Structure 1
Amino acid sequence: MYFYAVFLRGVNVGGVKILMKDLTALLEQAGFSRVRTLLASGNVVFASEESDPAAVKTACEAAINSVYGYGTRVIVQDAAQLEYLAGNFPFAPPNDGIQRHEYLVLTESEEKAASIMGTAPEPSTEERVAQLSHGICWEVPRGQSLDSLLAKHFAKVASKSLVTTRNMNTIHKMLTALKALA
C-alpha cells in the first residue's frame, strides 16, 4: 500500500466549490482507500495500491473532472516527498518582534520551482524565500501574504501554471494525517 497527500488547486475560491464529503466519496469511487480531507481547501490524504504518483495524479484529476468538469488540477506528494519538504523548511523565525507566516509553494517539478524563483522579485527586508526541491519556501510578515511583491508574483504564476500555496501548519497537519494512514 502507498500513501499520498493530494493538494487541489483553486478549490472553494472564485466560485469553484467542491464539498469535502463529496470529494471523499468521489476519490473512494475512483479506487482510493482511507480517504481523509483536511480543512475545506482541497487537502486530501489516502492510501492506494498504485505506486506511481503520476498515475495517482492522472486518476485524481480524471475523477474530479468527470464530475465537476472545470479542469481541476492536483499536486500529488508521496509520504517521502512531503516529509522532506516539511522537515527541511529552511527558516527559523528571527527574534525581531515581527509575526510571520510560513508558506510552501508546491510546484510540479524542481525545474518549475527554479523558473518561478528565476523570475521572482527580490523579497522585502522582512521576507525570506528559498527553493527546496520542487517547492518554494516563503516567510512573510502577517498581513502581507497577499500584498508583497512576492505574493503578487506567486498569484500571477498560479494563474498560468500548476502551483498551490499552503501554510506550513497545513503541511504539518497533512504529514501527520498521512503518517496516521500507515
Structure 2
Amino acid sequence: MSPYLALPRSINTGKRKVLKEDLLGVAQDAGFKSAKTYLASGNLVLWGDHEGGAALERALEDALEARIGLRTDFMVRSPAQVRAIIDANPFKAEAVDHPSHVIVNFLKSPLPAEDEAILRAAITGPERFVVGACELYLDFPISMADSVLDRDWKKTKRSPVGTTRNWNTVMALAGMMDA
C-alpha cells in the first residue's frame, strides 16, 4: 500500500468547514483502506492501492462533493514527490530559523512564466519566492500577516490553484507518510 498526501484547497477557513469525520469518509469513499488527518486544515495522509495524479485528485474532489456538497480542489503528492519538495527547499536556513514563515504552495499545475513575473512585481517587502516543479516556496522573514504579497497577488486575478502549508506542517506530514 502506497501512502499519498492529499491537501484540499481552502477548507476550514471561514465558512468552508469540513469535519474530520467527513474527510476520513471521503478517503473511504474514494477507496482508501486507511487515512489519517493532521490539524484542522484538511491535511490527509492516505494509504491504498491507488495511482496518484490528476485522476486521484478528481476522485477525492468528487467524493467530497458527493458526501457534503462542497467542491474544492485537492493537491495530491506521492512520498517521492514530498521528499523532492523537501530536498528542493531553497530556504533551508530560514526553515530552521523561522519554519512557520516558510511556506510551500502546492500547485495543481506548474506556474506559467507570465504568472511568475506578475508575482515578482507584487513583492513590495522582504518576501521572497522560488518556483518549483508544481510548488511555490515562499519565505516571509518578518510575518505573513504584515505582507501585502498575498493580497496584491490575488488582486491580479492570476493566483494559481493551490493550497499552502507552512514548513512545520510539511515536515509533520512527511513524517506521517514515512510512519
Determine what percentage of the aligned residue pairs are the same residue. 27
Q: 1:86 maps to which residue?
A: 86
CA separation in 1, counterparts of 2:98 and 2:82?
Answer: 28
Residues 164 and 98 of structure 1: CA distance in aligned 2, closer, same or farther (over 3 Å): closer
Q: 2:178 maps to which residue?
A: 179
* Larger CA deviation: 24-33 vs 71-80: 24-33
Q: 1:24 maps to which residue?
A: 24
Residues 178 and 113 of structure 1: CA distance in aligned 2, closer, same or farther (over 3 Å): farther
Q: TM-score, normalised by structure 2?
A: 0.85
Structure 1: any 5+ residue segments left out of the alignment? none
CA separation in 2, counterparts of 1:56 and 1:100?
Answer: 29
Following superposition, the deviation at residue 81 of structure 1 comes to 0.9
Following superposition, the deviation at residue 158 of structure 1 comes to 8.4
CA separation in 2, counterparts of 1:166 and 1:130?
Answer: 15
Structure 2: any 5+ residue segments left out of the alignment? none
Q: How big is each residue's C-alpha offset from its partner over 1:92-132, in whole Å with a ceiling of 9 and x where there is no partner?
A: 446xx99971001111122x264432211253453221111
Q: How many residues align?
A: 176
Q: 2:118 maps to which residue?
A: 119
- Which residue identity lines up with residue 35 of structure 1 in the other structure? A
Q: Secondary structure at the match of 1:133?
A: coil
- Which residue identity lines up with residue 178 of structure 1 in the other structure? M
- Correspondence list, 1:43-122, <5 A: 43-93=43-93, 101-110=101-110, 112=111, 114-120=113-119, 121=121
Say if 2:115 and 2:158, in contact at 8 Å, map to a contact too: no
Residues 31 and 103 of structure 1: CA distance in aligned 2, closer, same or farther (over 3 Å): same
Q: How big is each residue's C-alpha offset from its partner over 1:43-70, in whole Å with a ceiling of 9 and x where there is no partner?
A: 0001121123222111111100102223
- Which residue identity lines up with residue 135 of structure 1 in the other structure? E
Residues 130 and 21 of structure 1: CA distance in aligned 2, closer, same or farther (over 3 Å): same
- Which residue identity lines up with residue 177 of structure 2 in the other structure? L
Q: 2:139 maps to which residue?
A: 139
Q: CA RMSD in A?
A: 2.6
